[in-house]
Amino acid sequence: MRVWFLSAGLALMCMAQNAAAGTVLIVGDSISAGFGLDTRLGWVSLLEQRLKQEGFDDKVVNASISGDTSAGGQARLPALLAEHKPELVILELGGNDGLRGMPPAQLQRNLSSMIDSSRQSGAKVLLLGMQLPPNYGKRYTDSFAEVYGKLAEEKNIPLVPFFLEGVGGHPDLMQADGLHPAAGAQSKLLENVWPTLKPLL
């Protein structure tokens, strides 16, 4: 009888641990895909390491694709939600929309749809905001940046206002193309996200 209780107790502990472990799905573009880097040095890999260090059992699924736009992410998301059943979805999209001069209203519609789909699947959502270089013109860059704040307020979701804070505009932290963060910037990207991400785990 004592052995049975011990076995049952261990089984319940394992079940509780598995129930506590969730899946974090990251849907992003080249910044999260680790373009130009050994992906083991990217901020997503650093996030996996941080989770283990802090005692979280969550699994990270990086579904980021270099060059992806919000429209591409929106098209891919339903299948990703069905396959991975995440507890948390991190949306890191929009940079390529802006670089291609796409209307901010279109970006807002696409991200709004992704937020709604994620929530309907039972997942929390974290939105990572982006900004554009000033050479795109103040009117456009302001309209673009405002999309993220508007969505966060409208949908009542957590927001990292500017994912590349402290990185963008710093040549020593960027790759030669001036668009993609270098290896030395990846820990900073994680630090930009972690304080907002951790309470959602």
The answer to whether residue 62 is domain-embedded is: yes
The answer to whether residue 16 is domain-embedded is: no
Q: What is the pLDDT of residues 60-100, one digit of tens each?
A: 999 999 999 999 999 999 999 999 999 999 999 999 999 99
The answer to whether residue 17 is domain-embedded is: no
Give the residue numbers spanning the domain of 96.
22-200
Reported as half-sphere exposure (CB side, CA atoms, 13 A), residue 143 has a value of 15
Task: Provide the pairing of β-strand 23-28 with 59-62.
Answer: parallel
Q: Count CB atoms within 10 A of the CB of residue 66.
A: 15
Sign for the pseudo-dihedral over CA of 110, 115, 118, 120: negative
The answer to whether residue 147 is domain-embedded is: yes
- Average pLDDT of the chain? 92
112 catalytic, yes or no? no
143 catalytic, yes or no? no
Active-site residue identified among 113, 143, 177, 187: 177
The answer to whether residue 195 is domain-embedded is: yes
Residue 127 and residue 172: Cα distance in Å, rounded?
26
- Confidence band of 117 (pLDDT split at 50, 70, 90): very high
30 catalytic, yes or no? yes
Q: How many folded domains does the chain comprise?
A: 1
CATH of the domain at 38: 3.40.50.1110
Q: What is the pLDDT of residues 33-69, one digit of tens each?
A: 999 999 899 999 999 999 999 999 999 999 999 999 9
Active-site residue identified among 29, 45, 121, 180: 180
The answer to whether residue 79 is domain-embedded is: yes
Rounded to the nearest 10 degrees, the angle between the axes of helix 43-53 and helix 186-197 is 50
State the pLDDT at residue 20.
57
The answer to whether residue 181 is domain-embedded is: yes
Structure tokens at 198: 């951790």
**Residue 44, amino acid:** V
Active-site residue identified among 30, 45, 64, 118: 30
